C-alpha cells in the first residue's frame, strides 16, 4: 500500500464577498481534488486544540498523528532541528523574523520578502553586536535561515533559563497592518526579548543592507521580531507508531524539522520556494519518484498560506489550481496505476483572507483509495466538509484513520 498526503497549507477559509459568497476553495477549479472527493470521502478535522496557538507547528504536528497537547513545545525548536542546530536539554530556540514596523504598525512581517543573502548579513551584524560578550548577552546565537525566517538560540550553559512555558509571544504574521503595542513579549524572560528587539532597531537603521534596499524602493528590515520560543521536543518515530516509512517535501524549515523528529527522510526540490512562485510541477514529479522508496509521501505547499497572509484571494485561488493541476492530479494518477493506495488532501489549519492570519477551526479533508467506501460528496470544499458525518474533533486521529482504516 502506498500513501500520499498533499497539504495546500491554509487553504480553508471563509466565504468571500468578492467571490459571491463562495470560499476560495469553492471558487477554484480543482478537478483533481474533486475527483478524490467523488471516489472517496470528504470530512473535516480540528487540528489545533483551542488552548494552543493556531500555527503551522501545532497543526502539522497534529496532522502527522501526534497529539499536540502531549508533544508540542514551541515552533522555533523544530526549525532549529531542520537547520542542524543542536539544542541542549536546557537550551531554548526562538524564531527571529525580520520585519518592517512603521509607527508601531506591522507593515510587513517579511520585510518585503528580504533575500536570504541580505538576511544573513543582518544576522551577522546581530551576532557581532547583540550576541557579544560586551553586550551582556554572550549566551545568544543568531542563526540565518531562509529570507525573513531566522533563529535565535539561548544557550543555558548550566545556568538558569529566563524563559518558561508562561512566556508569551505573538507571531508577526498575526499582526499584519495592526498596531504591535499590545503584542510585545510578556511573562518570564520578556525583558530580555524586548530589549533585544529594541536594540535591533538602532543596529539595522544604518546597516548597508537597508540603505541599499531603500535606494531600490524596497522595504527595509526595521528590526527583528522574537516569537515561537521553546525547548527541544521528543517524538516517537513515525515508523514505530504506524509501521510506515515516510518522506517530506516542503520548502519550510518548520516542516523539515518535524520530518526529522519523526524519522522521515526529506526531499529537497529545486525551485521550491515556500511562496507563490514555487515550482509546483517539480514538487509533483519528486513526490511520484519518492513513492518508489517510501510508503508515504507528504507534500506540503506553502503558497496558499502565503497568499492568505497577503490578503490576496486571486493568488490563493491560482495557487490552489496549480496544486491541483501539477501535484494532486499527477500523484493520484500515478498511485492508481501502481496498485493499492490511499491519497488525502487537506490543509493543516485555516488561514483567513479577511484577517490575513491563521485561525482555529475545522479544515476540509478528502480521502480516496483502497478500502475507502465512497460517500455522496462530489466536490472538495469547505461547505461540503461541513455537511459530512466524518468528523475528527481531535485532528491527530486522522493519521491512524488514514493508514489503518479499511
Is-contact 50 343, C-beta < 8 A? no
pLDDT in tens, 334-355: 999 999 999 999 999 999 999 9
CA distance 190 to 185: 5
Q: Is residue 390 in a domain?
A: yes
Residue 136 pLDDT more than 90?
no
Mean per-residue pLDDT for 181-202?
A: 96
pTM score: 0.84
Q: Are residues 116 and 33 in the same domain?
A: no
In a domain, 106, yes or no: yes
CB neighbourhood size of 182 (10 A): 10
Contact 123, 115 (CB under 8 A): no
pLDDT at 161 over 90: no
pLDDT digits (tens, 9 = 90+) for 94-124: 999 999 999 999 999 999 999 999 999 999 9
The verdict on 199 and 106 lying in the same domain is yes
pLDDT, residue 133, reads 67
11 shares its domain with 137: no
Over residues 272-285, mean pLDDT: 96
Give dist(CA 263, CA 261) in Å, integer.
6
Over the stretch 379-393, which tens digit does the pLDDT of each residue have? 999 999 999 999 999
Q: Is 113 a domain residue?
A: yes
Q: Residue 319: which CATH number?
A: 3.40.720.10
Q: What percent of the chain has pLDDT over 90?
A: 89
Banded pLDDT at 134 (limits 50, 70, 90): low
Query: What is residue 406's predicted lDDT score, i.e. its pLDDT?
Result: 41
Q: Is the pLDDT of residue 80 over 80?
A: yes
Asked if residue 42 has pLDDT above 50, the reply is yes
Q: Which of these three, 183, 211, 230, is where a domain ends?
A: 230
252 or 296: which leads in pLDDT: 296
Please tell me the distance from the alpha carbon of residue 176 to that of residue 310, in angstroms, as a whole number. Answer: 9
Q: Percentage of the chain surpassing pLDDT 70?
A: 98
Tell me the sheet residues that pair with 55: none
| Residues 377, 382, 388, 394, CA torsion sign | positive
Verify that 245 and 219 share a domain, yes or no. no
User: In whole angstroms, what is the distance from residue 195 CA to residue 98 CA?
Assistant: 16
Is there a single domain that holds both residue 110 and residue 171?
yes
Chain mean pLDDT for the chain: 95
Contacts for 370 with CB less than 8 Å, ≥ 6 apart: 1, 340, 341, 342, 406
Reported confidence tier of residue 135, pLDDT bands at 50, 70, 90:
low
Question: Is 293 within 8 Å of 121 (Cβ atoms)?
Answer: no
374 and 268 part of one domain:
yes
**Residue 75 domain flag:** no
Whether the per-residue pLDDT at 405 is higher than 60: the answer is no
- DSSP letters for 17-85: GGGTTB-HHHHS--HHHHHHHHHSEEEEE--S-TTS---HHHHHHHHTT--HHHH---SHHHHHHHTT-
Residue 318: is its pLDDT beyond 80? Answer: yes
* Alpha carbons 204 and 221: distance in angstroms, whole number: 7
Q: Take residue 132 and report the three cell numbers written for it.
A: 557579544
Q: Within this chain, do residues 268 and 392 fall inside the same structural domain, yes or no?
A: yes
Statement: residue 27 has pLDDT above 60: yes
Binning the chain into helix, strand and coil, the percentages to the nearest 5 are 35, 20, 40
Domain ranges, residue 135: 82-230
Amino acid at each position: 500500500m502506498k500513501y500520499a498526503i498533499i497539504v495546500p497549507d491554509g487553504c480553508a477559509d471563509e466565504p468571500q464577498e468578492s467571490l459571491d459568497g463562495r470560499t476560495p476553495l469553492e471558487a477554484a477549479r480543482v478537478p483533481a481534488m474533486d475527483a478524490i472527493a467523488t471516489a472517496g470521502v470528504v470530512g473535516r478535522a480540528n487540528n489545533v486544540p483551542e488552548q494552543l496557538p493556531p500555527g503551522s507547528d501545532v497543526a502539522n504536528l497534529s496532522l502527522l498523528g501526534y497529539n499536540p497537547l502531549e508533544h508540542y513545545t514551541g515552533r522555533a525548536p523544530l526549525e532549529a532541528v531542520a537547520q542542524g542546530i543542536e539544542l541542549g536539554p536546557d537550551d531554548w530556540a526562538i524564531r527571529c523574523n525580520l520585519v518592517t514596523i512603521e509607527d508601531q504598525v506591522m507593515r510587513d512581517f517579511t520585510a518585503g520578502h528580504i533575500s536570504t543573502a541580505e538576511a544573513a548579513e543582518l544576522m551577522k551584524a546581530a551576532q557581532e553586536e547583540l550576541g557579544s560578550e560586551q553586550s551582556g548577552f554572550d549566551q545568544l546565537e543568531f542563526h540565518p535561515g531562509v529570507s525573513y525566517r531566522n533563529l535565535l538560540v539561548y544557550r543555558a550553559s548550566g545556568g538558569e533559563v529566563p524563559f518558561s512555558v508562561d512566556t508569551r509571544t505573538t507571531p508577526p504574521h498575526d499582526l499584519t497592518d495592526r498596531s504591535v503595542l499590545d503584542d510585545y513579549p510578556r511573562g518570564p524572560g520578556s525583558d530580555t526579548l524586548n530589549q533585544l528587539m529594541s536594540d535591533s532597531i538602532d543596529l539595522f537603521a544604518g546597516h548597508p543592507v537597508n540603505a541599499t534596499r531603500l535606494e531600490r524602493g524596497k522595504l527595509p528590515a526595521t528590526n527583528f521580531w522574537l516569537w515561537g520560543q521553546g525547548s527541544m521536543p521528543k517524538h516517537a518515530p513515525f515508523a514505530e507508531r504506524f509501521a510506515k516509512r515516510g518522506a517530506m517535501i516542503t520548502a519550510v524549515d518548520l516542516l523539515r524539522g518535524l520530518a526529522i523528529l519523526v524519522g522521515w527522510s526529506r526531499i529537497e526540490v529545486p525551485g521550491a520556494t515556500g511562496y507563490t512562485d514555487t515550482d509546483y510541477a517539480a514538487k509533483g514529479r519528486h513526490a511520484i519518484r519518492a513513492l518508489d522508496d517510501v510508503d508515504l509521501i507528504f507534500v506540503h505547499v506553502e503558497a496558499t498560506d502565503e497568499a492568505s497572509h497577503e490578503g490576496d484571494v486571486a493568488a490563493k485561488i491560482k495557487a490552489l489550481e496549480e496544486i491541483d493541476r501539477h501535484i494532486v492530479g499527477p500523484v493520484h494518477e500515478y498511485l492508481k496505476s501502481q496498485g493499492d493506495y490511499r491519497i488525502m488532501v487537506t490543509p493543516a489549519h485555516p488561514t483567513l483572507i479577511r484577517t490575513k492570519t491563521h485561525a482555529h477551526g475545522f479544515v476540509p479533508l478528502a480521502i480516496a483509495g483502497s478500502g475507502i467506501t465512497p460517500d455522496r460528496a462530489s466536490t472538495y470544499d469547505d461547505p461540503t466538509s461541513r455537511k459530512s458525518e466524518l468528523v475528527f474533533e481531535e485532528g491527530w486521529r486522522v493519521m491512524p484513520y488514514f493508514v489503518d482504516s479499511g
